[in-house]
């Protein structure tokens, strides 16, 4: 089995993505997630670049890690400066992590037009910095920035830069498609050339970006051409269109190309780890992300469902549990009785085809779909519906009433609306009020506040997505709306639905399902 080493740069390149800002705690949680998944190298920033990074490096040393080694990242020295006098290099080597990643210029254009120095001086900068870093660490990886663009523009020079890094002591040379513009065949040709050039002196790696939608394909092309080290971010976060998605790459390599990237028994953690990283970054994981998205093993057409039931690989490229994901059959009129029965059996395995409850549910589903409900994207609401039909559903609370007061202009961002609510849990009444930036937000806050002391696990639940669809727009302001709410507790993701002519009512219905779903599942978990 060919071994391919992975380096995750979610904390460094990923953090350069628009909309992402990690606290020190977030970063530590990501390190632990990647470690549990068996990722061998986790790259963070330069401790000298900001106080947050310095605090991170101090704290990360206290973590007990099983698989991951931490790498710090910095640039080659400044032109015409002694390496030992360069403050950026000094702060990098002082951090005391085992692995240092040094990046430098490989494209002549960047040397002369951006750095404004000579080609020879740039080679000296690479040599000096790599050698100095090597003296202060166990291992140096050299990132050849813009290597593939440089290889097209001035091949001889691009190759000279990587040879310089290898001679100076870097054991791995990562070739970068920094602008994300290259094609797999170019990546393969250039990588093969460097593999041949360096021979046993250094391993070759690859670092790609997704600007042409080819980051994964380009990484795989490099591996086929002899690269033994792949850099990327677990769920593809990164500048512009993102870095190479490591979750896709590692599943492809491990399941299909017979390469070893992480320990085999860690692979079923892939989905959970990916969702957790997205959760920490507070970014909704695209549901169609290969292998790990919620739609990755979802079937809607009746014929496909039938095929999967008879022989799962008839419509699935790998078994969903190989990466810790789950198969889903969507519920809709297309799917019909057998899909409904399948879903019921997940909750109540003893239900049979001829049971009355199946007919009752199919009929109820038709009626609800006619009134605007759709359960294809709302598994959790469907599950509650089944439980109600089976008589196993127990409401965790009863609403007495709620009232919403809007205020315009809002006094500040969080005080546009106030929700007052009265509800009861086991005969115990609770009255709360909460403000929010709008009526739905105020309702959500008020409901949690009311339930907090009865159900402390609700603290972990966050709404991650909120979608509103107008169903019969021709009825203007009388139109019905369908609200879909996606929630997570950091481990599972579930979606609920509500329909009404009143958008707040529709949101309330979806919100209540979300909370009920969580509480129902919490209660079923063994203590």
- Which residue ranges make up the site for Zn ion (CB under 5 A)? 13
Residue 5 or residue 13: which is nearer to Zn ion going by CB? Answer: 13
CB of 191 to Zn ion, least distance (A): 16
- Whole-number minimum distance, CB 209 to Zn ion, in Å? 6
In whole angstroms, how close is the CB of 33 to Zn ion at the nearest point?
A: 21
| Token representation of residue 217 | 């394909």
Calculate ∠ Cα 495-500-501, nearest 5°: 140
Strands (DSSP E) contained in 170-262 are 172-177, 203-208, 229-232, 259-260
Minimum distance from residue 16 beta carbon to Zn ion (Å)? 8
Q: Which is nearer to Zn ion, 13 or 43 (by Cβ)? A: 13
Residue among 239 and 489 whose Cβ is closer to Zn ion: 239
Nearest of 79, 81, 89, 76 to residue 47 by alpha carbon: 89
Q: Which is nearer to Zn ion, 10 or 274 (CB)?
A: 10
Output the smallest distance, CB 207 to Zn ion, in A.
Answer: 6
The Cα-based distances of 188 to 153, 193, 253 in angstroms read 17, 9, 16
Q: Smaller CB distance to Zn ion: residue 234 or 493?
A: 234
Separation of alpha carbons 235 and 523, rounded Å: 32
Specify whether the CB–CB gap between 495 and 486 falls below 8 A: yes
**C-beta closer to Zn ion: residue 13 or 128:** 13
Q: How far is the CB of 483 from Zn ion (least distance, A)?
A: 39
Cβ distance to Zn ion smaller for residue 13 or 516: 13
Q: How far is the CB of 182 from Zn ion (least distance, A)?
A: 13
Closer to Zn ion by Cβ: residue 72 or 484? 72
The whole-angstrom distance between residue 89's C-alpha and the CA centroid of its chain comes to 32
88 to each of 42, 69, 72, 160, 493, how far by Cα in Å?
A: 20, 22, 12, 24, 42
Q: State the minimum distance, in angstroms, from the CB of residue 243 to Zn ion.
A: 6
Beta carbons within 10 angstroms of residue 267's beta carbon:
21
> How many degrees, rounded to 5, is the angle at CA 308 between CA 304 and CA 309?
115
DSSP-assigned states of every residue in 438-504: SHHHHHHHHHHHHHTTT-GGGGG-EEEEEEEEES-GGGGGG--EEEEEEEE-SS-EEEEEEEESSHH
């Amino acid at each position: 089995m060919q071994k391919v080493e992975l380096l995750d740069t979610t904390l460094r390149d990923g953090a350069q993505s628009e909309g992402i800002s990690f606290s020190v705690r977030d970063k530590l949680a990501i390190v632990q997630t990647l470690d549990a998944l068996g990722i061998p190298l986790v790259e963070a920033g330069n401790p000298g670049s900001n106080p947050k990074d310095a605090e991170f490096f101090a704290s990360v040393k206290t973590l007990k890690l099983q698989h991951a080694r931490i790498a710090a990242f910095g640039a080659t020295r400044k032109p015409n400066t002694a390496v030992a006098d360069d403050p950026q290099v000094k702060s990098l080597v002082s951090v005391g992590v085992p692995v240092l990643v040094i990046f430098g210029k490989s494209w002549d254009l960047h040397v002369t037009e951006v750095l404004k120095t000579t080609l020879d001086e740039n080679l000296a900068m690479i040599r000096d910095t790599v050698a100095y870093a090597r003296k202060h660490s166990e291992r140096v990886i050299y990132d050849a920035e813009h290597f593939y663009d440089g290889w097209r523009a001035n091949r001889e020079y691009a190759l000279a830069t990587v040879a310089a890094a290898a001679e100076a002591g870097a054991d791995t040379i990562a070739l970068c498609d920094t602008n994300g513009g290259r094609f797999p065949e170019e990546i393969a040709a250039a990588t093969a050339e460097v593999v041949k050039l360096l021979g046993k002196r250094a391993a070759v790696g690859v670092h790609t970006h997704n600007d042409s939608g080819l980051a994964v394909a380009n990484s795989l092309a490099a591996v086929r051409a002899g690269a033994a080290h792949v850099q990327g971010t677990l769920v593809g976060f990164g500048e512009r269109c993102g870095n190479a998605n490591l979750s896709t790459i590692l599943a492809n390599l491990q399941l299909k190309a017979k390469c070893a990237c992480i320990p085999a028994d860690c692979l079923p953690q892939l989905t959970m780890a990916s969702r957790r990283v997205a959760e920490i970054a507070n970014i909704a994981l695209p549901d169609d992300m290969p292998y790990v998205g919620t739609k990755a093993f979802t079937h809607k057409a009746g014929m496909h469902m039938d095929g999967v039931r008879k022989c799962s690989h008839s419509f699935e490229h790998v078994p969903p549990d190989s990466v810790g994901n789950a198969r889903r059959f969507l519920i809709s009129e297309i799917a019909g009785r057998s899909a409904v029965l399948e879903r019921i059996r997940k909750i109540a395995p003893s239900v049979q085809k001829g049971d009355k409850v199946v007919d009752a549910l199919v009929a109820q589903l038709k009626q609800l779909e006619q009134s605007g409900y759709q359960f294809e994207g709302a598994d959790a609401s469907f599950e509650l519906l089944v439980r109600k039909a089976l008589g196993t559903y127990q409401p965790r609370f009863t609403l007495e009433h709620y009232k919403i007061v809007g205020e315009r202009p809002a006094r500040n961002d969080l005080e546009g609306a106030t929700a007052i609510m009265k509800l009861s849990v086991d005969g115990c009444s609770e009255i709360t009020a909460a403000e929010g930036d709008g009526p739905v937000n105020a309702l959500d806050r008020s409901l949690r506040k009311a339930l907090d002391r009865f159900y402390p696990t609700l603290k972990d639940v966050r709404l991650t997505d909120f979608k509103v669809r107008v169903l019969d727009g021709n009825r203007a302001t009388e139109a019905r709306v369908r609200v879909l709410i996606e929630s997570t507790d950091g481990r599972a993701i579930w979606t609920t639905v509500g329909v009404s002519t009143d958008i707040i009512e529709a949101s309330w219905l979806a919100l209540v399902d979300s909370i009920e779903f969580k509480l129902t599942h919490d209660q079923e978990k063994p203590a």
